[in-house]
Structure 1
Amino acid sequence: MAKKKPTDSAKAAADKPRVHKDLEGFDIQINSFGEISTSFDMDRINEFLNKNVDDKKLRDREDIPGRKTRKSKKKTNEEEE
């Protein structure tokens, strides 16, 4: 049997990447000069990244409100011996 070719609507759906629900409608393009243009302003993107991405450089800072922190494992004297 011959393989079925995807329809135009299925092909269009396959071209769109899956995105987080907070970034629904986000589109990014790079023009011929190498300039990046997005459908969201940079402040909104940075706010999303600050909320959802763990930055290991800022992990131990307590002066940044509202950011997720992951507990880092520190070796105790008993574990080193």
Structure 2
Amino acid sequence: MAKKSKKKETPKVNEELEGFTMNINSFGEISSSFSIDKINEFLNKNVDDKKLRDREDSKKDPSKGDH
């Protein structure tokens, strides 16, 4: 029986994450093509955090400067 060849397909990603790569070296260190700040900014904007959903301070709009 012939072996199936694995093709490296690029996954479908959000436009903002185009070109993002993440690698783990032999020592277990994670390297990324984006800074952690850029990744966190994307996650904060696009992912709902269930743990923070009902908190009063998270309901304020951070773009208005209400702190």
User: TM-score, normalization: structure 1?
Assistant: 0.59
Matched residue count: 54
Question: Which runs of 5 or more structure 2 residues have no equivalent in the other structure?
Answer: 1-6, 63-67
Q: Aligned pair 1:18/2:12, yes or no?
A: yes
Question: Which runs of 5 or more structure 1 residues have no equivalent in the other structure?
Answer: 1-10, 67-81
User: TM-score, normalization: structure 2?
Assistant: 0.71
Q: Secondary structure at the match of 1:32?
A: coil
30, 39, 49: which one pairs with 2:24? 30
Which aligned runs of 4 or more in structure 1 are off by greater than 4 angstroms? Answer: none
Aligned partners of 1:61 and 1:16: how far apart in 2?
A: 38
Which residue in the other structure is 2:57 paired with?
63
Which structure would you say has the larger Rg? 1
Residue identity over aligned pairs, in percent, reads 69
Deviation per CA, 1:21-76: give whole Å up to 9, x if none: 1111101000000100000000000011111111110011242335xxxxxxxxxx
RMSD of the alignment, in Å? 1.5
